[in-house]
Each structure stands twice: as structure tokens, then as C-alpha cells.
Structure 1
């Protein structure tokens, strides 16, 4: 829920966005809106965040945590790893440098265009798949691990089919690690300053945030779940939750990223990283 930023003006203009709204949004409308949004925003997003994300680096969150330090996926040497919601795929390319056989998947053709370009720039070839995370185009037990750094999970109307699909394509004991905006952030406005410290809505209000055009069609959609919602959905899909990381704001780190800032980061978490493994 971080589209209230001047950087998004290009995508909003392209899509005819007239303002925010709160209402129920189903799977079909969520998919259509987010294809349109990320295709329209891909160039601006990479221009703004590309230098921080890198071409072949695995950044988990705006707080600066990286896979090279955390090793949440364990040793990926000679392992099959799926990145879901890959964007320009820097995480998948980094995994390849660590000896993994990585595959990167995203819904947005615009983002995958940048991923293909960066494959060429880096010389690190990652297979790129355009698909919906709710319908993964892979055989059962195809991967040893799956990961997602702010990709796909917040943008689907129902996270349970995504988790079920991830469980299906993982081998028994396979890891599923994903990062999302911390659910507690939902109660505050998307403002890195003092206005972002005032509660404006209920934590238990799961009505999606969306932006709409003049006809009321969604041009951007993001869905809220509580911590309990995530845990129940994971357990329902057959996952065991090994850890839940709520990164603290790094001392001396001054960079703002959308709603993430030192002011807010010192008071409450901005990211939740769920570390799971498939049972069996």
C-alpha cells in the first residue's frame, strides 16, 4: 500500500487513475489491475529502485537485509530455486552466482522485459516465466526452494491458492521464504514522516486498498492480511513456520524507501519475512 508517492505519477497518468478507494476486489480484477500497473510502472520503478536492488543481488527488504548475510534459503548450491514475483530478477541472478538453478516468474511483461535486459547486461542467464502465482506452470515437486521478496503475495485476492501452489511445486522439506509489508503498517497512512505515525484504520479491516480510474475500475490493488491470516493459510497449505523475522531499523541508516523511513522504523516493523518449509 505504497502508491502515494510522486514516483507513481507516470503509471497513474497512463492508467487514468483518479484516486484511491476501499472496496472488495476479486481475483480477476486484482490480476488485471496489477498487470496493468506493473507494466506501466516498470520503467519508473527500476529507474528509482534499480540502483538499490542491484543487477544480481538478493535484498529482502527496505531495511537492507540480504540473503548473503541471513542465508534463509540455506545452501543453494546445485539446488532448484523458484523466485515468485521476481520483478527484474536480481534475486534469481544472485542465486545463480551461488550455484543454484534458479527460475524467475512474474505476472508483468514490463518487469520481465527489464529482467531479460539485465540477463544480457550481467551475462547471468535466468529462465524467465510470465505467469500468475495462483497457477504455477510447473510439475509437482519441481523445486527445492521458493522465495519472494515483496512479489505476488500482497497483490492476490486470496493468498491460499498461492501457498497451495508453492507447496505443490516444492519437494518435501523444501523451503518457502517470502517477505511482505508488515501487516501492522496497514493501520497507518503511507507516509514516511510524522503523519505516518497516526492510526487511521483498523488492523482487522481486510478491505483492499486500490486506486481507480474515472469509471471505477481498479488500476492498482493491494490486499491486507493479519499475521494470523498468514499463519493459518501457511498451515492450511502444509507448511511449517520455522521463523518470522521482523527487521529492526539499522542504526545510522537514513535512506527512505516509500513509506519506510528511520522515523517509523525505530517505532514499529515495516517488513515481515516468513521462513517456512513444506511438511513431509
Structure 2
């Protein structure tokens, strides 16, 4: 495990303890509705993934929730009938999924590891991968796409959320004061800042070429996409969408 990976694993454990948004488990009501076929999930901050991105029925569909711990996407998809494996760097995030599974009598598996290295899984193990905004926490995104292609079956679907790198151009502290001040270049690395703060995740702003062409180079065809933001909670939301999601289909290795 690299120093960055180890740092971010511990940071996300602390986020669970603090109860931040992306560590909060889904409610019993949400699971009840999912069992009836009434469900949605998100891979960005605000919008929900279109239902037409999924098969009509998830029964028997083998789904990898990649870097997706927290008791959110995985339990909903399991309640909807999918055979779910949740893979995440944070042990405490995975515990959130396990707690929901126990509470709701759901069957799902959890595996701890780095999203860039999926050796725990054989080639062509899954029908679908759901990958919410998470590659912002790794230095090199390209291995995520190549490993996703390896473990997906032919014509398997990859649903990914990620950041538009424009977000990382601006000084965070000044944005909190209502000022958009260009202070960084892309690609961005928080390792370039003056200090690494314990408990605060390290973030990386990847180029759109690495995010999009990285998928096509790994053997995916991007067939749909949408944009999203933080729900209007940030100044930059008034000017541009800073998140996006893609649906991609594996067409070759």
C-alpha cells in the first residue's frame, strides 16, 4: 500500500466516525422500496443515475461496487436483486455496507483494497461496475480503467462518476469567501501543497483525457453521460458543472 493509499484509507475511516455525507447508510425505507423495484442510486453528488443505464432486471447480475463503500449503492442494488460485491479502501466504509446487509438481511460481499489493483478478482468476473466519484483520491486513474476492463465480461457496463478538473483550478479558502481565484494547474495534486493534514484525504485533479480517453484506451465505448454539481452549495456551481458521469460498455481488452 502506497503512502497516499494508506493516508486516504485512514482519512476515510475518520470520515465514517464523523458521519460525513458519503458515509451515511441508506434507510430501511429505501431498501424496502428497492425490493419492490423502486430504486435509484447516485455516482455523483446530486443527480441520480438514469434507470435506463441498468438492465430491466438486476436478478443474477454480478455487480462490483468499486470504491463504493458507505452502505449506499451496494445495499440498494442487492435489494433490487443483484449479486453485489463492494470493494473499498476504507475498512470502516465497508463496515457500513455490512451493517446494512445485516440489518436488512441482504446478501452482499465486501473486499478491502486499492481501486487500481483488483487482483482479488478473476478476469471477466462481473456484468457491471458501479464506480461513484472516488478516483479523485488516487494519483493515477488509468489503472482503474484497465482493471475495470479486465474484470468485466464482454459487453459489460461501467458506470462512473468523476470530477471535472476545472474544480481544482481554484483556491479553496478563497472560494469559501466567495472568490474564484485561479491558483493551481491541471493535473492537480494536493501533495504539492505545503502540508499533508492527518484525517484530510489527499485529492488529485485528473485531466479529462485521462478520465475519458483513459476509458476508451482500456477497451470501453462511452455510450452516454451527464453532468452534475454539488447541488448549488459551492460558488463554482453558479458557473459550471464540476462532476460528470459516464456509461461505458466493454468492447475489447
Instruction: Please provide the CA RMSD for this pair.
Output: 2.8
Pairing 1:34-73 to 2, within 5 Å after superposition: 34-46=8-20, 48=21, 54=27, 56=31, 58-63=41-46, 65-67=47-49, 69-73=50-54
Aligned length: 237
**Deviation of residue 197 (structure 1)?**
5.0
- 8 Å Cα contact 1:53-1:59 kept in structure 2: no
Q: Structure 1: how far apart are the matches of 2:189 and 2:140?
A: 11
Correspondence for 2:249: 277
* SS of 2:87 mapped into structure 1: strand
> When the two structures are superposed, what TM-score results if normalisation uses the length of structure 2?
0.81
Moved over 3 A (4+): 48-57, 189-197
* SS of 2:201 mapped into structure 1: strand
Correspondence for 2:87: 105
Correspondence for 1:236: 217
Q: Given the superposition, is the C-alpha separation of residues 110 and 205 from structure 1 closer, same or farther in structure 2, using an over 3 Å criterion?
A: same
Mark the runs of 5 or more structure 2 residues left unpaired by the alignment: 32-39
Q: Structure 1: how far apart are the matches of 2:238 and 2:26?
A: 23
- 8 Å Cα contact 1:39-1:111 kept in structure 2: yes
**Deviation of residue 52 (structure 1)?**
8.2
> When the two structures are superposed, what TM-score results if normalisation uses the length of structure 1?
0.74
- 8 Å Cα contact 2:5-2:138 kept in structure 1: yes
- 8 Å Cα contact 1:82-1:146 kept in structure 2: yes
Matched, 1:28 2:6: no
- 8 Å Cα contact 2:168-2:188 kept in structure 1: no
Deviation string, structure 1 residues 101-159 (Cα, Å, up to 9, x no partner): 111111111211222112222222211111211221111000011011123x1112211
- 8 Å Cα contact 2:155-2:251 kept in structure 1: yes
Q: Structure 2: how far apart are the matches of 1:274 and 1:181?
A: 11
**Deviation of residue 267 (structure 1)?**
2.1
